Chains A and B, each alone.
Chain A
Amino acid sequence: MTREQFSVDLHGVVDLLSNHLYSGPQVYIRELLQNAIDATSARNGGDAGTVRFALGEVDGRPALHVTDEGVGLSLDEARSFMGVIGRSSKRDEIGMARESLIGQFGVGILSCFAVSEQVRVLSTSAAGGETITWTGDADGTWVAATTDNAHPVGSTVTVVARHGEERWFEPDTIQRHLVRYGQLLKTPVLFDRDDGTTPVLITRLDVALRSAHATPDELLDFGREVLDIAAIDAFPISSTSSQTSGIAYVLPYEPAPGAARADQVYVKGMLVDEDCEKLLPEWAFFVRCIVESDGLHPTASREELHEDDMLEVAREELGQSVRSHLMNIASTSPNRLEALLATHHLSMKALAVSDPEFCALVTDWLPVHTAEGYMKIGEFRSRHPTALYTESVDEFRQVAPVALAQGIGLACGGYVYDGELLEATALAFDDFSVDVAKVEDLFRGFGVLTDAEVARFAALIAVAQERLELHDVEAALRRFEPAETPGMLAVSNEARELRSLQRGGEQANNLFSGILGAIQEHVPQVRPMLCLNADNRIIARLADTATTDPELAGHAIDLLYLQALMAGHHPFQASEAALLNLSLVELIDRATTTQTRQGDAS
């Protein structure tokens, strides 16, 4: 049986590469650059040689010539390596380690056929021998031969524009992509635009990125130019294990949590990803960075990084770099840290929560919402060495006025990271402790009444218990500041959960009604509590009214309950909205009737 070989449709392969593997036809510029750099590195270890891109014409068509002073090709090498799709780089054959090269896949030249019908190579091998030509066509045929045309050691690749693809040969387009892909290459790259101007040097020979002595301004300028951001701070970062180093820029705005990162990654000087999401830990969303690496591995498309162990190590070490910088400025330049926190306190909180050492350094500058207003934790803990925090914003709203009036240190732990941050702060400092404020506990701790007072308010309490029972709310009477507040409603998370289960059970089908009922019996049986304030003058008066006119006192209790609901931002149920209407009408009726009687009497 004879073995047959696959027939490969080159057009299909090119389509596959340019439409599926690569991000677009412009990639041919990168691949040409890549091949030229590989060839130069193979000959000189990257220390010498210049790569020249030049626009021109061939047979009246726009053409791009790329000349390198690299290792060149012999006729055998051209036949062997340029005519077989997917064969590894020729540089392997002459002893270059694969890792020292940028490109490794041997298919890059095919990307030229996305914009051209023909690719021509003129080359002289560094190993000696005659100059050769290799011409490949988009139909998959190629021819290689020696030639009398002279060419110095190295190669010139010529790509002629296909009809309809001229836009990829515009000088501005080529220059833009050359800068994009190759500005950090160490091998000089020149571009002749063929418009009478001096060839442009694409590579940045004096790169702030690589200078240990670059000033902060130079780093910021570089970021402005390359990342197009006006960062508020910049600092070097590095990962030794992955041979990666670069600059982190502190964003001048707070990105939305979960927003995609967009770091720029260069591998061996060539752009691999300009929207990399994987390079830094999630918590570092306040910086964007530019890094170059000799150790990270691009995927086959060379347009993103391979998610492997090396990238994981790099992510951890680069994150460590960012953290070290923050710790350094926390102890040496608090003003610089404060400027950063003004914009990025969320990110800092995220880091502080998971890192005790960092927490101890920065927590005092981080703001939290307290009963006394927004305050830095440092100030909060110096005012209140023993403090409380609520687990939800709702609970905070309920008890903040009371805590304020009574001098209790209360913070809201219901915002992102704040509860955990306060706990972490308490662990970091021996002279500060926090506990979760349970609303009902706080209310129960209010001033207890004497027996005589209890007797005086007994009728009111009885009325309140009767009225509030209809809403499944407990009534209590305490003494608390501020005296202007007649009553407060405490709805703990447990009470809320129980209510939710009760409502769910009532509205579920039979199957789930039973299940919710069973669960309900297992959760704490906590009811909301309306705590009336014995120090309030209205409540004091109502104590008497409850004896003489229990019905009027009942309407007043209804309204106090509804007012407490509103004060705590609790939505009204339909029955409560109806009650508001009814109670108001009743009270107005009572008030106007009394006035009429008084008028009649006079």
Chain B
Amino acid sequence: MSTETVEGLISSSYGLNPRQRVNTLVRAVELADSQGDLDAGFEAREELVYASYYVPGGVELVSAFSWLLARHDEDPERFYLNLWSYKWVVHALPSMLAVSLEQIEEVMADVETRFEASGEGPAVAAKLRMIIAEMTGEVDDVRTYMTIWREALEKRRGWLNDCGACDESSYVDALLMIGEEQQALAEGKNLIEGRSTCSTEPHFTLGTLLATARRIGPDGLATDMRKRGYRLIRDDPKFYSLVAKYVRDSLTTGDLNRSAELIAKHRSWGEVPQDELSHYIFTSAARRTLLRFEHIGKPIPNGLADTKANGKSADAVAKDLIAEAERLGAAFDARNGNSYYTDNLEADRVFATR
């Protein structure tokens, strides 16, 4: 019989990389469950929820959090629920094709009830709705909830609010989504210049504002952002979707080979469990570059081929990536009831074949 303990597994998980940490904590959860130890199960899942935040995907996060929520509802005195992690769950759900808009809405209603009961103002929930609108391609809703969020935030900053840097970054994202590029660049200045930082910033903003900086930013800004931004994310699969920004930027600046290199280097990140939206974002950027290769009649670089024995050729890999982007784009639009992602794919095709 195994001599492992739940405590021992939790302790040993701290030195591991994020994916291995999650795997170890899943084991701790199984062990606690097999012993019928609810308290140990709660502790192990709390750790699992935190650890899951640092790996791509989201299945473990949602599964573990839902268990915590149920135990908390059964016995709130015994099981204290940290509502902060509920925000991560809301972030994760729209990225999963399996989850319907109705289910996301039901979760948001639950979030709003619980946040309000905990004394939290409306800002956090409005921000979450804004993010859901961004992920589901509802531009008008982004504008609406962005306004509600900013106004509520000015009145009151609650304990569930994200850090200042994350809020600035989210504001920039929303402004970009509604087409306010100039303002987005101005609002992102503190983040770009390193005056506002946190564990995930300026990682995100250097990527999300890159195309805007390239178009309307001062000389040298985009190049500097690209250099610093890519360095921050290049080794962490959690930033899979952000790589897309650099794939796109390389194509925009005419460096087709660099764009293909980035695709080849990072496409293996798609093989680890990733959420489907991140996978769409990466493959759609790859598609744009690969369509360009096709359009100008340049062969797809061999670097894109599978390195494993009997692996696919570069052409076959390119074909798969293009098909995957189109499949995911269509599936998200079907789920969301709009044409946001397929419109973007069409815009990419126009760019690549002009």
Contacts and interface: CB of A to CB of B under 8 A. Distances in A.
A417 B18 CA distance: 11
Interface in B31-45: 31, 33-36
B27 to A, nearest CB: 7
B35 A571 contact: yes
A253 interface: no
Given A509-B73, A571-B2, A515 B62 contact: yes
B106 interface: yes
Contacts of A354: 235
A569 B23 contact: no
Contacts of A572: 34
Nearest to B96: A519
Interface stretch (A135-143, A371-379, A493-501): A493-501
Contacts of A511: 103, 106-107, 110
Contact of B99 (A258, A433, A501, A519): A519
B17 A417 contact: yes
Interface in A516-543: 516, 518-519, 521-523
A516 B12 CA distance: 28
B307 A503 contact: no
B15 interface: yes
Contact of B98 (A258, A518, A571): A518
Nearest to A503: B33
B112 interface: no
A216 interface: no
Contact of A496 (B26, B33, B64, B67): B26
Nearest to A415: B20
A521 B15 contact: no
B166 interface: no
Contacts, number: 106
B70 A509 contact: yes
Contacts of A335: none
A500 B29 contact: yes
B223 to A, nearest CB: 14
B132 interface: no
A512 B62 contact: yes
B177 interface: no
A466 B1 CA distance: 25
Interface string B42-80: 000000000000000001101111110110010000000
B235 A504 contact: no
A416 interface: yes
B98 A508 contact: no
A307 to B, nearest CB: 8
Nearest to A498: B59
A43 to B, nearest CB: 38
A233 interface: no
Contact of B103 (A256, A257, A501, A515): A515
Contacts of A508: 66-67, 69-70
Nearest to B23: A392
Contacts of B4: 569, 571
Contacts of A257: 15
Nearest to A519: B98
A566 B1 contact: yes
**Which of A257, A386, A519, A573 counts the most B-chain CB atoms under 10 A from its CB?**
A519
B30 interface: yes
A518 B103 contact: yes
Contacts of B93: 515
Interface string B316-350: 00000000000000000000000000000000000
Nearest to A394: B27
A435 interface: yes
B97 interface: yes
Interface string A95-132: 00000000000000000000000000000000000000
Given A519-B99, A566-B1, A569-B4, A414 B23 contact: yes
A-B pairs with lowest CB-CB distance, top 7: A512-B66, A571-B34, A508-B66, A504-B63, A522-B98, A518-B98, A569-B2
Interface of B: 1-2, 4, 14-17, 20, 23, 26-27, 29-31, 33-36, 59-60, 62-67, 69-70, 73, 93, 96-100, 103, 106-107, 110, 235, 307-309
21 contacts: A256-B15, A257-B15, A354-B235, A414-B20, A426-B307, A493-B23, A500-B26, A500-B30, A500-B60, A504-B67, A508-B66, A509-B69, A511-B103, A512-B62, A514-B103, A515-B103, A516-B62, A518-B98, A566-B2, A571-B30, A573-B33
Interface of A: 256-258, 354, 386, 392, 394, 414-417, 426-427, 433, 435, 493, 496-497, 500-501, 503-504, 507-509, 511-516, 518-519, 521-523, 566, 569-574, 576-577
